[in-house]
Structure 1
Amino acid sequence: MEGRTTLQKATRATRMIFLMSGLAMASWAPMVPYAKARLSLDDASLGLVLLAFGGGSMLSMPVIGWLASRYGNDKVIGIAGALMCLALPALALVQTIAMLAIGLFYFGAMLGAVDVAMNAHAVEVERLEGRAVMSGFHGLFSLGGLAGAAGMSVMLASGLPLFACALSVSAVLALIVISQQTSLLRTANRAVRQSFALRMPRGLLLLVGALCFVSFLAEGSMLDWSALLLRDFRGYSAASAGIGYACFSVAMAMGRLTGDRLIAWLGPVWTVRAGAMLAAAGFLMSALMPWHATALLGFVLVGLGAANVVPVMFSAAGRLPDVAPAVSIAVVTALGYAGLLLGPALIGFVAHATSLPVALAAVAALLMLVAASAPVVRR
């Protein structure tokens, strides 16, 4: 009975950490225009500086995978989560481009550390639960993202100073970390103990990572290109073009919150196969059908289809033999972030050579490869 109570507390704490991570990441988005105006950045300069965020995440992940395996996911979540709380207030105050880049690198590194450790912890919780729970965790991340963006926007619209808004969000993040860290599972000294070394992923781990690259690329495509498709090809105004990403985000959150039951019904292989095919159909509908409503419906299908692909991939990575879960999660997460960062740029090159609808249709072709490779999650 005591063991079951401990597991219930760990499951609840994992949900809260995923919620906290989504809240932290999304709270930065409404702050971007303020940073741009304060430092008088043009779009090109801002784009380069923003790469520091992804760079910090990607560079920290291999190291964090080893640290989490050596010292425990709970300790990494507690320390990195606490340090992450310093980032948003600092980013609200930076006065130079260099300091903004350093701040974003630090924020990305801490958020990446929490990301790796919380997913590795989720794999352990899922193993002990004996049923699929990963999609629900990722659903809480999506809800945190919606709450973070909306909450920060509301506070800023009410006239509160940027620093006060950032400090308020950080206080909430700190409260979640402090209150939940002691309920996390103790995993120190239970995984690999070898010295840290960067190694190229091989075999099944590389394949799962490549599939995560494509899945994150599809999500990044929605973030960076959905509004442009609606404005330039479907007749939406610039002010209303953001509704496409909103449709995608809400559909993804709903898909993840119901995903655990779906996985229990379909199994992981068919969840990935059907999800990737549904997302591919959504991309084709949005890219090739010239009507207003079909574009939005396509974005909804992408959100519903892609919702549970990455959670299932993470669970599969955490079960790979001869690799500590934190290490395998670090690899697939880093490759996923690479897709999130590099994918939209690759789509831009294809769009420049052809057109944006053709480029988005190419994403559908990549998702069909994910569907064809779905059996890898069974191994």
Structure 2
Amino acid sequence: MPDARRGRWAVAAMFFANGFLTGSWAPQIPVLLTRLEIGRFTLGLLILLFGLGAIAAMVWCGHLIARHGSRAVVRWFSLCAGFGLLLVALAPSVAMAAPAMILFGGVIGGMDVAMNANAVAVERKLGRAIMSSSHGFWSLGGFVGGSLGGFAIQHYGHLAHAAVAGVLALVVVLPAMRHLVGEDKPVTQSHARFTLPRTAAIYLIGIMALFSMIPEGAVLDWSALYLRQELGTDLATAGFAFAAFSGVMALMRFFGDRVRNRFGAVKTLRISALLAASGMLVAGLSPDPWLAIGAFAFCGLGTANMVPIAFSAAGNQSGLSSGAGLSVVSTMGYCGILVAPSGIGFLAEHTGFGPVFVILSGLLVVVFLMAGLAHRADFVSTR
């Protein structure tokens, strides 16, 4: 048990470092635009390459975890992730920035799958849920990286910021590496070939993760524009929409494990989906910007535990390694943040954002109806 407890904080450090690097990337985006003298379209393509690199690594990472175990894989990717942002900051041209973005997205995405698989192993050893609070540490890391990044770039330059961010991430992960726990089951033989799982349930859980993360991506990319253009608020007030959503979501994730341990994964997911759907519906129908901000915060309260529960269910499927299950569900889920927002923007040009948010509340109702598939998240403890 002492080893398992140390492993719990070690994997929390990995989540924090991953979120910190992702948050540190956000203030680098405007610098990249001006430094390379490119337009928004080209910048959008570079950001898309980041997403494609992440998704490609997520698909392949399950195979690596099955062969080597999550502990080894999260170590490899966390070491590489420390240098990813610096590669992008050093790129002198679009031709060099493109592969750097793919690599940066790949190490962040691969580390994401591996650390979630390792969190599943810790849950089994501890005999209780830790996934929601682990994602809370990711949100906390993103907040720290994003809030400090702009100040650091303004006063010390983008290269110094990228280098220091990488060093700080390594300072967090290097001491934690030795305390990571491993899976009890032996890994597959090294000559095993890459294959996708044939279990239908894992793809249905992936749909739940996708429908949970599409609203999150929509609030991230479009909530401020919705309040600004359709509800007529000022720019400062519009920024509170995502701040309220993400702040409440991060806070709730630190309490989510207690809720899940008390009520079980299925019941928690059902209640969470209803809360999130209600908040999204009110936000889409709201005539007042502050009511919409409160509704987005209420949506974040429900969204907080949905993805962690889906990931725990994916990592505990019988007859399937945690890495293989999480690679599928992570890939499908993160498409909701990396790919879906562009389609939402296209649809909103014709309908407005209000009807779009109402439609997204329907996706959350679907998650409520599918919540029974999350029963595997109530894992069998190896304690």
TM-score range, shorter chain: over 0.9
Alignment partners' CA distance in 2, 1:59 and 1:371:
29
Could you tell me how far 1:372 is from its partner in structure 2?
Answer: 0.8
Quickly say closer, same or farther: Cα 1:282–1:201, change in 2 above 3 A.
farther
Alignment partners' CA distance in 1, 2:165 and 2:339:
29
Quickly say closer, same or farther: Cα 1:103–1:339, change in 2 above 3 A.
same
Aligned residue in 2 for 1:165 = 161
Q: TM-score, normalised by structure 2?
A: 0.95
Aligned residue in 1 for 2:380 = none
| 1:333 maps to amino acid | S
Aligned residue in 2 for 1:177 = 173
Q: What are the superposed Cα offsets for residues 331-363 of structure 1, whole Å, 9 maximum, x if unpaired?
A: 100001112122212222322232211011100
Query: Within 5 Å, which residues of 2 pair with 1:150-161?
Result: 150-157=147-154, 159-161=155-157
Asked if the contact 1:84–1:107 (Cα under 8 Å) also holds between the matched residues in 2, the reply is yes
Q: Secondary structure at the match of 1:323?
A: coil
Which shows bigger deviation, 84-93 or 282-291?
Answer: 84-93
Q: What are the superposed Cα offsets for residues 281-324 of structure 1, whole Å, 9 maximum, x if unpaired?
A: 11111110111211110110111100000101111111111110
| 2:366 maps to amino acid | L
Alignment partners' CA distance in 1, 2:183 and 2:265:
26
Alignment partners' CA distance in 1, 2:126 and 2:29:
40
Aligned residue in 1 for 2:124 = 127
Aligned residue in 2 for 1:191 = 187
Asked if the contact 1:70–1:189 (Cα under 8 Å) also holds between the matched residues in 2, the reply is no
Asked if the contact 1:70–1:188 (Cα under 8 Å) also holds between the matched residues in 2, the reply is no
Q: What are the superposed Cα offsets for residues 98-149 of structure 1, whole Å, 9 maximum, x if unpaired?
A: 2112111101100111111100000010011111111111111110110110
Q: TM-score, normalised by structure 1?
A: 0.96
Aligned residue in 2 for 1:357 = 354
Could you tell me how far 1:189 is from its partner in structure 2?
Answer: 7.2
Q: Secondary structure at the match of 1:373?
A: helix
Aligned residue in 1 for 2:296 = 299
Aligned residue in 2 for 1:310 = 307
Asked if the contact 1:347–1:360 (Cα under 8 Å) also holds between the matched residues in 2, the reply is no
Aligned residue in 2 for 1:14 = 11
Which shows bigger deviation, 148-157 or 25-34?
Answer: 148-157
Aligned residue in 1 for 2:100 = 103
Q: Secondary structure at the match of 2:62?
A: helix
Q: What are the superposed Cα offsets for residues 43-83 of structure 1, whole Å, 9 maximum, x if unpaired?
A: 11211111011100111112211111211212111111111
Alignment partners' CA distance in 2, 1:376 and 1:135:
18
Asked if the contact 2:123–2:130 (Cα under 8 Å) also holds between the matched residues in 1, the reply is yes
Quickly say closer, same or farther: Cα 1:378–1:200, change in 2 above 3 A.
closer
Aligned residue in 1 for 2:321 = 324
| 1:164 maps to amino acid | A
Query: Within 5 Å, which residues of 2 pair with 1:183-332?
Result: 183-187=179-183, 190-193=186-189, 195-199=192-196, 202-332=199-329
Asked if the contact 1:86–1:170 (Cα under 8 Å) also holds between the matched residues in 2, the reply is yes
CA RMSD of aligned residues (A): 1.5
Alignment partners' CA distance in 2, 1:281 and 1:342:
24
Asked if the contact 1:69–1:188 (Cα under 8 Å) also holds between the matched residues in 2, the reply is no
Q: Secondary structure at the match of 1:85?
A: helix
Structure 2: segments with no counterpart, 5+ residues: 377-383
| 1:328 maps to amino acid | G
Asked if the contact 2:277–2:364 (Cα under 8 Å) also holds between the matched residues in 1, the reply is yes
Alignment partners' CA distance in 2, 1:365 and 1:161:
44
Aligned residue in 1 for 2:44 = 47
Q: Secondary structure at the match of 1:132?
A: coil
Could you tell me how far 1:203 is from its partner in structure 2?
Answer: 1.2
Asked if the contact 2:121–2:183 (Cα under 8 Å) also holds between the matched residues in 1, the reply is no
Which shows bigger deviation, 260-269 or 363-372?
Answer: 260-269
Could you tell me how far 1:201 is from its partner in structure 2?
Answer: 5.1
The 4+ residue runs of structure 1 with deviation greater than 6 A are none
Asked if the contact 2:197–2:325 (Cα under 8 Å) also holds between the matched residues in 1, the reply is no
Alignment partners' CA distance in 1, 2:184 and 2:60:
16
Q: Does 1:63 align with 2:60?
A: yes
Alignment partners' CA distance in 2, 1:160 and 1:230:
34
Alignment partners' CA distance in 2, 1:305 and 1:277:
7
Which shows bigger deviation, 146-155 or 361-370?
Answer: 146-155
Asked if the contact 2:208–2:367 (Cα under 8 Å) also holds between the matched residues in 1, the reply is yes
Q: What are the superposed Cα offsets for residues 152-185 of structure 1, whole Å, 9 maximum, x if unpaired?
A: 122224x111111111111111112211111111
Over the matched positions of the two proteins, sequence identity in percent amounts to 34
1:142 aligned residue (139, 142, 145): 139
Q: Does 1:72 align with 2:69?
A: yes
Asked if the contact 2:197–2:320 (Cα under 8 Å) also holds between the matched residues in 1, the reply is no
Quickly say closer, same or farther: Cα 1:353–1:205, change in 2 above 3 A.
same
Alignment partners' CA distance in 2, 1:337 and 1:347:
15
Alignment partners' CA distance in 1, 2:58 and 2:184:
18
| 1:25 maps to amino acid | T
Alignment partners' CA distance in 2, 1:190 and 1:54:
32
